[in-house]
Amino acid sequence: MRSLAWVTDSTSTIDKEFAKNNHIYIVPLRLILGQETYRESVDISAEDFYEKMRHESKVSSSQPPIGEFMELYESLKDKYDDVIAIHCSAELSGTYNTSIQAAAMANVPVIGIDSKFGAFPIREMIKAGIEWHKRGGSATEIKERIEEMVRNTTFYVIPSSLSRLHNSGRVSGTQLLLSNLLRIHLLLRFDDGKVVVEHKIRTFKKARQKMLEILKDDFHKIKKVCIMHANNMEEAKEIEKELSDMNPSLKTEIMTFIPVVGYLAGEGTIAMSWIKHQPTFS
């Protein structure tokens, strides 16, 4: 069996111990609070970030520097037969392109995958890829199967704030204006890596209900759903209870969003994601 390394970023939410045991190398995004720069999930926890963000007016984020990727790829060059680089959506961050450029500069052949998402989906893609590799799948075959998972993934977000999404170019000024003036909540959906407005709804409760109705249509195609939140565990648990009442056999997981998402979409943001026909391994 050919040896295989995985290169990803902190949006993957991969557990550090799991990463260490499965040849996964995580390059963290950056969080900037005032004059201080932190490596996400390395120098600062999500809880500490939200606390600091409430008291700091100058907050921003950035992708990892290309030099950090180059250094990593140089270290992997003679250690593995194959390297798969899978990152958050290239439509929302330059991280994927920077990683691939760094690999080329380090003269390391890399199989690149744009996950089109982040958080729960990218973590599940990597875990499935590891299982396929254990079963003898080649790096190319793994890429093909993961890209099938990408096509079968659904991801909805109810942001608590659109200001930073607008400033970063991820939401239009018209959508921001509508939301602010009419107090409309937007139900956003990932579409081929981009974030698009699926519905404009007057209350948060109705937006949440709409998201659950959409999920209900896929109950027969899924076994698990992930509820993600930006420092809003209470709301996440309420959704989990509703899902349990709707479909007791459906597995649920609650995941805290990485700080970058909390910065962009606002503290209190809620999201759900599921993968149709997700592979399972005994």
Domain CATH code at residue 209: 3.30.1180.10
User: Which has more confidence, 281 or 217?
Assistant: 217
Same domain, 158 and 232: yes
- Residue 54 belongs to some domain of the structure: no
Interaxial angle between packed helices 120-134 and 139-151, expressed in degrees from 0 to 180 and rounded to the nearest 10: 150
pLDDT at 189: 94
CB atoms within 10 A of CB 231: 21
Q: In b/e form, how buried is each residue of 49-66, taking b as 16+ CB within 10 angstroms?
A: bbebbeeeeebebebbee
- Confidence band of 282 (pLDDT split at 50, 70, 90): low
Domain assignment of residue 186, yes or no: yes
* Residue 21: domain span: 4-29+64-151
Same domain, 146 and 228: no
Number of compact structural domains in the chain: 2
Per-residue pLDDT tens over the stretch 207-217:
999 999 999 99
166 falls within a domain = yes
Model's pTM, two decimal places?
0.91
Q: What is the pLDDT of residues 120-162, one digit of tens each?
A: 999 999 999 999 999 999 999 999 999 999 999 999 999 887 6
List strands edge to edge, sheet with 36-39.
36-39, 30-33, 59-62
Say yes or no: 251 and 146 in one domain: no
